[in-house]
Amino acid sequence: MRLAAPGAAVEPPTRPCEEPLMAPATTPSPPAPRPNRASRVAIVAVGLLVVASCSHLPGRSPAAARPPTVVRVVDGDTVVLRIAGATERVRLIGIDTPETVKPDTPVQCYGPEASAHLKHLLPPGTPVRVRRDAEARDRYGRLLLYLWRASDGRFVNLEIAADGFGRPLTIAPNTAHRADIAAAASRAEASGRGLWRSCPAAPP
């Protein structure tokens, strides 16, 4: 799997089997005219041929076909995933939870609770769906991703805000879900959930 450098545009696939795993969201195109029965049969036949050919491509390992899975949770907004056989440290986009493992930084209010919450949402071995935003990595080399649990489609970044375990953090140009996460955090604050009740002041 080839990841784009920070700020770089995502390259389109060069072969039918090279769909980018973490391409940024794009505006959907208008629906195409409904094909007739003969066209649908032809499309299905071509699709089956592509799948068959992809499964036998040289160098295409079984690991590349498996969904990303959780290796471990680092803290309330950082996880380690196994993606296409490689282990990657991942920073969740759009959310910021209190620190628990940052060097030379004391454990912050509600940090242990936020970490425990993410461990509950993403135990080791959990399959996830992932999507990047405009930038692939941060300055520390971590992948920047949105995560959904594959089993039920729960949007993890949003859940953290909605349950009151983190505050919104917007860093342009990675803003695809900014409005949804901010709205979820506002509802959590209004309801006094989680850190909004226990830690009303933002951590330094």
Answer whether residue 36 is part of any domain. no
Q: Is residue 50 part of a domain?
A: no
At 197, list the tokens. 């009740």
Assess contact for 59 and 121: CB atoms under 8 A. Answer: no
Strand pairing category for 78-83 and 69-75: antiparallel
β-pairing, 95-96 vs 167-168, is: antiparallel
Residue 63: which pLDDT band, with cuts at 50, 70 and 90? low
Q: Is residue 5 assigned to a domain?
A: no
Is 3 part of any domain? Answer: no
Pick from 92, 93, 99, 103: nearest CA to 75: 99
Write down the catalytic residue from 88, 99, 135, 159: 99
Six token digits for residue 195: 């850190």
In a domain, 11, yes or no: no
Instruction: Read off φ and ψ for residue 81, nearest 5 degrees.
Output: -115, 155
99 among known catalytic residues: yes
User: Is pLDDT of 195 > 90?
Assistant: yes
Q: 167 catalytic, yes or no?
A: no
Catalytic residue among 88, 132, 137, 142: 142
Contact 3, 143 (CB under 8 A): yes
53 within domain boundaries: no
The pLDDT of residue 186: 97
Residue of 91, 132, 137, 167 with catalytic role: 91
Is residue 102 situated within a structural domain? yes
Comparing 35 with 116, the larger pLDDT belongs to 116
Q: Which domain holds residue 99?
A: 65-198
Does pLDDT of 6 surpass 80? Answer: no
Total tally of structural domains belonging to the chain: 1
Tell me, yes or no, whether 25 lies in a domain: no
Is residue 66 annotated as part of the catalytic site, yes or no?
Answer: no
Q: The domain spanning residue 80 has which CATH number?
A: 2.40.50.90
- Tell me the average pLDDT across 47-60: 43
